[in-house]
């Protein structure tokens, strides 16, 4: 397990700069939540950590390793998206094991890892089903299971619950908290849901227009927001 360090991270799309020199340390095993308005750069930062977007300048370390120019598959990260593109023709077990199968892992190891992820996510009774026979919440569990099976050092979640209805969101939020307690990996989680941020986070990062506005523990931000903007995201009026 390892933390994530961003130093002077910049992202430009053509002539447009969208991330303006972000410095951030996410500690080993920490649950770090990114919040901020639509378009402020949450997904772009996450995608840069995953290696799905090139970093224009600055550096990204995972543990002691500089991964700025390293291939996504070599970074030891797994990302869970808002839309969980499961393979419709494969069972739950096959969907979860597919990544390991593609990278040539032995069958017995894949089966063992899928069984472990299914246990953690309470998917055992559903392993032989196809995605169309699952509810939205169950499908998102499978998407999370796919990440767990890969055994990443760092989990990245981009608004994973925003397609679910309110009741399921609460249920899945509890599941994600339990997952973090059980496997203890470093997690970076993007959400626009204040309750999710307050209940899941060890540390909240408030982003505004490609810059960090404030970083802190949930209650510190809640009680002592630096300004109205932060208060608007975290709750208590400044
Ligand atoms: P958030 O996830 O916080 O809503 P994003 O990271 O998706 O924000 O986007 C940050 C900014 O970068 C936005 O202005 C968006 O339009 C821009 N952007 C994101 N991806 C691209 C891209 N591939 N090409 C050009 N601009 C992009
Ligand atoms: Mg986004």
- Measured in Å, residue 104 CA sits from the centre of ligand 1 at 35
Question: Residue 211 has what pLDDT?
Answer: 98
With a cut of 70, which residues of the chain have pLDDT below it?
1, 236-238
Residue 149 CA, ligand 1 centroid: distance in Å = 29
**Would you state the pLDDT for residue 225?**
94
Query: pLDDT at position 1, please?
Result: 63
Query: What does pTM read for this prediction?
Result: 0.94
Predicted pLDDT at 208: 97
Cα(236)–Cα(231) distance, integer angstroms: 6
Q: In angstroms, what is the span from residue 44 Cα to ligand 1's centroid?
A: 6
Q: Is the CB of 69 under 6 A from ligand 1?
A: no
CA-to-CA separations, 190 to 63, 107, 161, 203, 211, in angstroms, rounded: 21, 34, 10, 12, 15
Give the pLDDT of residue 238. 42
* pLDDT at residue number 188: 98
What integer pLDDT is reported at residue 39 of this predicted model? 96
Encode pLDDT of 144-199 as tens digits. Answer: 999 999 999 999 999 999 888 888 889 899 999 999 999 999 999 999 888 999 99
* Tokens 């308005």 found at: 37
Spatial separation of the C-alpha atoms in residues 61 and 166, rounded to whole Å:
36
User: Given ligand 1 and candidates 11, 14, 35, 44, which is best to mutate, with the most ligand atoms within 8 Å of its CB?
Assistant: 44
Output the CA 48–ligand 1 centroid distance in Å: 12
Question: CB neighbours (10 Å) of residue 155?
Answer: 24
Query: Per residue in 13-25, is it b (16+ CB within 10 Å) or e — as a string?
Result: eeeeebbeebebe
39 lines ligand 1 (CB under 6 A): yes
Position 100 scores a pLDDT of 92
């Amino acid at each position: 397990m390892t933390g994530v360090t961003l130093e002077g991270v910049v992202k430009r799309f053509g002539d447009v700069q969208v991330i303006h020199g972000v410095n951030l340390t996410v500690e080993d095993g920490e649950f770090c939540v990114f919040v901020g308005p639509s378009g402020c750069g949450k997904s772009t930062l996450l995608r840069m950590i995953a290696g799905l977007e090139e970093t224009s300048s600055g550096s990204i370390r995972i543990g002691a390793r500089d991964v700025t120019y390293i291939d996504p598959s070599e970074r030891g990260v797994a990302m869970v998206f808002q839309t969980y593109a499961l393979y419709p023709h494969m069972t739950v077990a096959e969907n979860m094991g597919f990544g390991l199968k593609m990278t040539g892992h032995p069958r017995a190891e894949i089966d063992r890892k899928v069984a472990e992820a299914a246990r953690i996510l309470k998917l055992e009774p559903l392993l032989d089903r196809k995605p169309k026979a699952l509810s939205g919440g169950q499908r998102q569990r499978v998407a999370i299971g796919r990440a767990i099976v890969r055994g990443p050092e760092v989990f990245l979640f981009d608004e994973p619950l925003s397609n679910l209805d309110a009741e399921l969101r609460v249920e899945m939020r509890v599941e994600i908290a339990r997952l973090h307690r059980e496997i203890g990996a470093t997690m970076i989680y993007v959400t626009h849901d204040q309750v999710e941020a307050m209940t899941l986070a060890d540390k909240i990062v408030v982003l505004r227009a490609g810059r960090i506005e404030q970083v802190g523990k949930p209650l510190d931000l809640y009680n002592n927001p630096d300004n109205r903007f932060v208060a608007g995201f975290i709750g208590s009026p400044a």
